[in-house]
């Protein structure tokens, strides 16, 4: 791993800001899929066991900078409390006096979850003053939110520029699994891509065509390829303006000797609804009034044959309208097949909210090699792009080469290296420069520790691995089942209900007008206004079901 992880950080007694991706689906005020919460548990427990004060921060949905009661993180806090069997209070706001008080009261081994970061427009704008305030809460930053690593937001890019920034264990695992796909997959290597639109996938297909042996296409996006082959697709979902891209992709695949598998027969339906009339037809000439909604049996058999000797698979996107059970057969059959391939030693990596939900529903998730918690992030990674939330983390120092003229080391070996790399150097410089002003600007309790520049933590990476056992296990249920043994000081804050800690209101308007010009050279004191404390907002009014799914 090229990035330093929490194994390399000395977190005992430190306040650790952990960006997690708790953007999970909710219905009736309950989390309906807790995979992303479970996936963060190894990192959380590792930090807790090492005696850190763990400050969790996440977004939920897309509230566009406004407080939305249906997108409060309380249900997530409840689920996390159940999984960890220890109280995880949720603040009423990511900013404000109530939150500062709660932070002040935290003791080593305790956990606090900040309210939805996206209630502040400054989060997505990567506003410097907002980032500085969040950074002032902690001594160390950890990113375990792989699913959000493609976003250059305050909590994914702004804060880690101000603190020593490490990867969490989930982040580490995600990067390891996905890098392996691009760098050294066992062959044959197949990509299975589905979902509605080819336009979302063109870049990843282009990149994967230089990596894979086999490309299996299904779902709505396959229809555009059928069009590209001159077939008629009736009323099916397609993007006619992408036909040329599809033709180019098919030509490149041929040139690169990548076998492309497209549907040969399909289920067509009168309407894309439950209970409608449907039948199987060859994927040649679909009559004008029908919609393609799933793979037919011959297409499924073709996929089975194509994947018979596969050693590595990446799958993103459903292969039919899987939300309607009659049209989920293709998706389900491929899920079962991949579970079987994985059990026979193939590496099977799944990414993307929809398909992960389907596999989880079928109880097959544990059989796969890796279920990515990132949809968009995993695609961007496989497009070969840098993820801003990863780039900003501290680089692992290269092991020192045997120098021809050995000198007595004046500095610790590891300390010299991070600064040598541009990213780390920049990050460290920024930290050193900005940490003081930030400390002044924000509430007293955090001032002392923030004022300490990154240097210390950066200086001794790898010196003291703090990872507990949980670290090496699959980031799922196992870790959750074991409540923290060395629970330190769980009493103090946990017995105080979150309500107390959360008396701040949606930030006052002033918070929305941060000191954009607060530069590292200018103390942010005036610039980082403290949002006014207001009424308690801990009781969400009737949570509504989320309408959007994590992509």
List contacts with ligand 3PG (CB under 6 A).
21, 23, 62, 147-148, 151, 375-376, 550-551
Q: How far apart are CA 339 and CA 328, in angstroms?
A: 16
Q: How far is the CB of 59 from ligand 3PG (least distance, A)?
A: 7
Least Cα distance to 327 among 353, 363, 302, 299 occurs for: 299
Give the one entry of Mg ion, ligand 3PG, none that residue 151 binds, where binding means its C-beta sits below a cut-off of 5 to 8 angstroms depending on kind.
Answer: ligand 3PG
Counting DSSP H helices and E strands in the chain, the numbers are 22, 18
CB 514 within 8 A of CB 76: no
Closer residue to ligand 3PG, CB minimum distance, 489 or 551:
551
DSSP 8-state code for residue 294: E
Closer residue to Mg ion, CB minimum distance, 103 or 350:
350
Q: How far is the CB of 494 from ligand 3PG (least distance, A)?
A: 27
- Under rule CB under 5 A, residue 376 binds Mg ion: yes
Q: How far is the CB of 148 from ligand 3PG (least distance, A)?
A: 5
Distances (CA, A) of 447 to 46, 137, 292, 404, 441: 26, 9, 61, 45, 8
Give the one entry of ligand 3PG, Mg ion, none that residue 211 binds, where binding means its C-beta sits below a cut-off of 5 to 8 angstroms depending on kind.
Answer: none
Closer residue to ligand 3PG, CB minimum distance, 94 or 268:
94
User: Collapsing DSSP states into helix, strand and coil, what is residue 399?
Assistant: coil
Give the one entry of Mg ion, ligand 3PG, none that residue 23 binds, where binding means its C-beta sits below a cut-off of 5 to 8 angstroms depending on kind.
Answer: ligand 3PG
Structure-block tokens of residue 535: 């009424």
Minimal CB distance residue for Mg ion: 551
Q: How many residues bind Mg ion (CB under 5 A)?
A: 2
166-182 in b/e form (b: 16+ CB < 10 A) is bbbbbbbbbbebbebbb
Distances (CA, A) of 360 to 61, 202, 321, 323: 21, 27, 17, 13
Residues known to be catalytic: 36, 197, 353, 376
Distances (CA, A) of 135 to 131, 155, 484: 6, 9, 27
Q: How far is the CB of 147 from Mg ion (least distance, A)?
A: 7
Give the one entry of ligand 3PG, Mg ion, none that residue 148 binds, where binding means its C-beta sits below a cut-off of 5 to 8 angstroms depending on kind.
Answer: ligand 3PG
Closer residue to ligand 3PG, CB minimum distance, 23 or 538:
23
Q: How far is the CB of 129 from Mg ion (least distance, A)?
A: 26
Q: How far apart are CA 510 and CA 506, in angstroms?
A: 11
Distances (CA, A) of 449 to 333, 463, 466: 54, 21, 20
- Under rule CB under 5 A, residue 551 binds Mg ion: yes
Q: How far is the CB of 208 from ligand 3PG (least distance, A)?
A: 20
Closer residue to Mg ion, CB minimum distance, 148 or 504:
148
Closer residue to Mg ion, CB minimum distance, 42 or 63:
63
User: What's 159-221 look like in SS3?
Assistant: HHHCCCEEECHHHHHHHHHHHHHHHCCCCCEEEEECCCCCCCCHHHHHHHCCCCCEEEECHHH
Residues 121-160 that bind Mg ion (CB under 5 A): none
- Under rule CB under 5 A, residue 532 binds Mg ion: no
Q: How far apart are CA 300 and CA 282, in angstroms?
A: 13
Closer residue to ligand 3PG, CB minimum distance, 188 or 374:
374
Q: How far is the CB of 26 from ligand 3PG (least distance, A)?
A: 13
Minimal CB distance residue for ligand 3PG: 550
Binding region for Mg ion (CB under 5 A) = 376, 551
């Amino acid at each position: 791993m090229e990035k330093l992880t929490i194994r390399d950080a000395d977190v005992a007694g430190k306040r650790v800001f952990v960006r997690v991706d708790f953007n999970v689906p909710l219905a009736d005020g309950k989390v309906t899929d807790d995979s992303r919460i479970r996936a963060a548990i190894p990192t959380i427990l590792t930090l807790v066991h090492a005696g850190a004060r763990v400050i969790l921060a996440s977004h939920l949905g897309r509230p566009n900078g406004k407080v939305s009661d249906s997108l409060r993180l309380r249900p997530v806090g409840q689920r996390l409390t159940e999984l960890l069997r220890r109280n995880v209070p949720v603040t009423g706001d990511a900013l404000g006096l109530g939150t500062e008080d709660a932070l002040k009261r935290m003791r080593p081994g305790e956990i606090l979850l900040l309210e939805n970061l996206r209630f502040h427009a400054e989060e997505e704008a990567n506003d410097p003053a907002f980032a500085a305030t969040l950074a002032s809460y902690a001594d160390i930053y950890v990113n375990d939110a792989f699913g959000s690593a493609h976003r250059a937001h305050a909590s994914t890019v702004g804060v880690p520029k101000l603190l020593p920034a490490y990867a969490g264990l989930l982040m580490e695992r995600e990067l390891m699994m996905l890098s392996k796909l691009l760098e050294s997959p066992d062959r044959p290597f197949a990509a299975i891509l589905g979902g509605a639109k080819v336009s979302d996938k063109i870049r990843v297909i282009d990149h994967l065509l230089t990596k894979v042996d086999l490309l299996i296409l299904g779902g709505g996006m396959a229809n555009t390829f059928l069009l590209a082959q001159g077939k008629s697709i009736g009323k099916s979902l397609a993007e006619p303006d992408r036909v040329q891209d599809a033709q180019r992709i098919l030509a490149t695949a041929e040139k690169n000797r990548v076998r492309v598998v497209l549907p040969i027969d399909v289920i067509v339906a009168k309407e894309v609804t439950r209970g409608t009339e449907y039948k199987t037809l060859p994927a040649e000439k679909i009559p004008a009034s029908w919609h393609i909604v799933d793979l037919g049996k011959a297409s499924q058999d073709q996929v089975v044959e194509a994947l018979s000797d596969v050693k590595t698979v990446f799958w993103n996107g459903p292969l039919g309208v899987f939300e309607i059970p009659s049209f989920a057969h293709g998706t389900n059959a491929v899920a079962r097949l991949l579970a079987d391939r994985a059990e026979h030693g193939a590496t099977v990596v799944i990414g993307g909210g929809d398909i992960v939900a389907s596999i989880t529903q079928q109880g097959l998730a544990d059989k796969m090699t890796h279920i990515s918690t990132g949809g968009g992030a995993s695609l961007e990674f496989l497009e070969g792009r840098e993820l801003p939330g990863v780039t900003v983390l501290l680089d692992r120092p290269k092991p020192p080469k045997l120098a021809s003229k050995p000198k007595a080391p004046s500095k610790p070996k590891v300390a010299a290296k991070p600064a040598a790399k541009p990213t780390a150097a920049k990050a460290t410089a920024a930290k050193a420069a900005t940490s003081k002003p930030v400390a002044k600007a924000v509430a007293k309790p955090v001032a002392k520790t923030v004022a300490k520049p990154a240097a210390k933590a950066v200086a001794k990476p790898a010196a003291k691995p703090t990872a507990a056992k949980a670290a090496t296990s699959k980031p799922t249920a196992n870790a959750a089942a074991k409540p923290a043994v060395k629970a330190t000081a769980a009493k103090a804050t946990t017995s105080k209900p979150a309500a107390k800690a959360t008396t701040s209101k949606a930030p006052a308007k002033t918070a929305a007008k941060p000191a954009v010009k607060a530069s590292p050279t200018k103390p942010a004191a005036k610039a980082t206004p403290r949002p006014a404390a207001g009424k308690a907002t801990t009781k969400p009014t009737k949570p509504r079901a989320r309408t959007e799914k994590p992509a």
